Structure 1
Amino acid sequence: MAWFSTSPLWLTCFCLCVLSVSAQLQRIEHPAKADATLSLVVIGDWGRKGKYNQSEVALQMGRVAEKLNIDFVISTGDNFYDDGLIGIGDAAFEDSFSRIYNAKSLQKTWYNVLGNHDYRGDVLAQLNPILGKIDKRWICQRSFIVDTEIAEFFFVDTTPFVDKYFYKPKHHKYDWRGVLPRKKYLSKLLEDLDLALKGSTANWKIVVGHHTIRSIGHHGDTIELKMQLLPILEANNVDMYINGHDHCLEHISSTTSQIQFLTSGGGSKAWKGDINKNNLDGVKFYYDGQGFMSMELEKSNAKIVYYDIFGQVLNELNLSKGLQISAM
């Protein structure tokens, strides 16, 4: 391994209010703690029915979540391998999700985005609120906003941006219902995101998507997102972009803006030794094993910690508004 440092809404135990932002973005109100702090864990690329050490990562995630008294969980997509769900009755939902993430501390709302593997199955099943009746933690939409008062999380459906899924799908089929015509879908999504970011008054603006913008892992940078999504993030002073897709843990600092690129895609099967050493600009941390990420937010400070399969701390990043970034 390489390591170097340079619930449906009506069933949750707290008040969640869904307000219409646009045709594609909905806003979910999820208040921070009474002391105006927020804590969460981030996992990606996980749904393998416990295999490839998914269960072991889940165990450690539960322990960290208990220690931090988390408010919710973020999933960065590829929730069910290899080809998403086959329908709302697919046993994989319980075998890869409910029965694996069974720690008491993880019985919080899960905010999920879709990954490219999810699009190979029945996308509408994963988006169906009926799954929330099977497991009340499950919230999955294409693109949406979670407003915690001190931070706003903008979840973006990134798979439709990637050309090769449309033009060079190889042996895979993708469920594009609700996406076509593609150009109109993406244009509307980017317009809505831009407007929502411009209107945000949160201390922290955090965007979540499945695909990488910057990565030195197996997949590397996603060119379509660098061209279409990144300029909007930079123009609106986004603080962090969180993603999965590459099966690793990463922190890369932007060389042109304040954005920190954070990868948490080590939920199960990981890439070992698959590093692009020709694209190291801004790379602060990379680990090509399994693990997950935690985040603690205050009004002016953020602490991001990366953990391995044994729950050991691999890297720690501290951000302060108006101050320099420090990393361990």
Structure 2
Amino acid sequence: MSTLSKVFLFTFSFASWVFHTSAELQTFAHPLKSDGSLSFLVIGDWGRRGAYNQSRVAFQMGKVGEKLDIDFVVSTGDNFYDNGLVNVQDTAFLESFTNIYTAKSLQKQWYSVLGNHDYRGNAVAQLSPVLGEIDPRWLCLRSFIVNTELVEIFLVDTNPFVEEYFTETDGHKYDWRGILPQKSYISNLLKDLELALRESTAKWKIVVGHHAIRSVGYHGDTQELVTQLLPILQENNVDFYVNGHDHCLEHISDRESPIQFLTSGAGSKAWRGDTHEVNRRGLNFFYDGQGFMSVQLSQTEANIEFYDVFGNVLHRLTASKQLYSSI
């Protein structure tokens, strides 16, 4: 059996690995490497049929993915521009995903959340298992958990939190099927997330959403997330909050907790020079060009690197933990 066939066979086996925690968020188990470590890439705001340097970013992802022997890829949303997918037969899926991320190292599971541009199309199409039949790498749900025991990654659909998508749509029609009523949906999601975070025994906790909690990029902070989501993350010892939405790469330290805010939304079109002067305190790194991020985890250390479209490492973050928790 070829390596690629083994990858796809492994991917299809995920369906039997799905289970529920006591919360309502679906959990997918993903194995660690034989030495107990894990590595993955993070890319956001990418789906443009190869344009705006998407193909060049994908090429560098392939090289870094091979070097790090990555286990999977995480997408922070805005997977298909400008208005998501029309349906499960939309050729944009192949033209922006399958035909772009062709490197051998990228033939791994992709865990994806939805972005606001995805909601402007047929959001439900991206959640369909039909896409997984077309390309077995694809797995996209609204909110779910990837559990490796070493780390739990909590992928959260942040779109329903943003009030302007309901009140000031600028002529866009959002696909809110399965979301309404909004307030009940958000309340239930926050309860489920809080319970899952509290019950987690993983060494590392990472939360992924499309929208930034803290950002100096074009969109800046998402106030609804600052008010409703951030306190839950702070109270439950989350290590990293990872997002896209702003088309940049950045690293900001929280002012009130050890949380590090990491933006990887530079998968294709970047916004040169569009920054906010707020939240400069805690800013460790900002880059307004295209690129992506890598994460390497062990029991004692997290190594995160940001890369530009040429594969250069622009910024590194290292975090350490004790091998055993103190009693």
TM-score normalized by structure 1? 0.94
1:225 aligns with 2:212: no
Partner of 2:176: helix, strand, or coil?
Answer: coil
Q: CA deviation at 1:106?
A: 0.1
Larger fraction in helix: 2
1:126 aligns with 2:130: no
1:235 aligns with 2:213: no
CA distance in 1: counterparts of 2:223 and 2:8, whole angstroms: 34
Q: Which residue matches 1:81?
A: 81
Instruction: Judge which range, 144-153 or 23-32, deviates more.
Output: 23-32
- What is the total number of aligned residue pairs between the two structures? 317
- Where in structure 1 do 4 or more consecutive aligned residues deviate above 6 Å? 7-10, 13-16
Identity score, percent: 63
1:208 aligns with 2:208: yes
Partner of 2:314: helix, strand, or coil?
Answer: strand
Q: CA deviation at 1:12?
A: 3.7
Q: CA deviation at 1:279?
A: 2.3
Kindly report the root-mean-square deviation, in angstroms, between the aligned alpha carbons of the 2 structures.
Answer: 1.7
**Letter in structure 1 aligned against 2:302:** A
| 8 Å contact kept, 1:155–1:207 | yes
Q: 1:17 to 1:90 in 2, by over 3 A?
A: same
Q: 1:82 to 1:23 in 2, by over 3 A?
A: farther
**Letter in structure 2 aligned against 1:205:** K
Can you give the 5+ residue segments of structure 2 that lack an aligned partner in the other structure?
Answer: 1-6
Q: CA deviation at 1:278?
A: 3.1
CA distance in 2: counterparts of 1:22 and 1:211, whole angstroms: 26
| 8 Å contact kept, 2:23–2:195 | no
Q: 1:9 to 1:230 in 2, by over 3 A?
A: farther
Partner of 1:74: helix, strand, or coil?
Answer: strand
Can you give the 5+ residue segments of structure 1 that lack an aligned partner in the other structure?
Answer: 1-6, 324-328
CA distance in 1: counterparts of 2:322 and 2:47, whole angstroms: 38
| 8 Å contact kept, 1:24–1:143 | no
Deviation readout 1:63-110 (Å, 9 max, x if unpaired) = 000000000000000000000000000000000000000000000000
| 8 Å contact kept, 2:113–2:210 | yes
CA distance in 2: counterparts of 1:15 and 1:130, whole angstroms: 13
| 8 Å contact kept, 2:214–2:279 | no
| 8 Å contact kept, 1:16–1:28 | no
| 8 Å contact kept, 2:11–2:109 | no
Q: Which residue matches 2:307?
A: 307
CA distance in 2: counterparts of 1:149 and 1:312, whole angstroms: 31
Q: CA deviation at 1:149?
A: 1.0
**Letter in structure 2 aligned against 1:302:** A
Q: CA deviation at 1:281?
A: 1.3
Matches within 5 A, 1:78-117: 78-117=78-117
Q: Which residue matches 2:169?
A: 169
Deviation readout 1:234-265 (Å, 9 max, x if unpaired) = 01010000000000000000010010000000
Q: 1:191 to 1:15 in 2, by over 3 A?
A: closer
Partner of 2:116: helix, strand, or coil?
Answer: coil
Matches within 5 A, 1:1-328: 11-12=11-12, 17-21=17-21, 24-321=24-321
Q: 1:15 to 1:320 in 2, by over 3 A?
A: farther
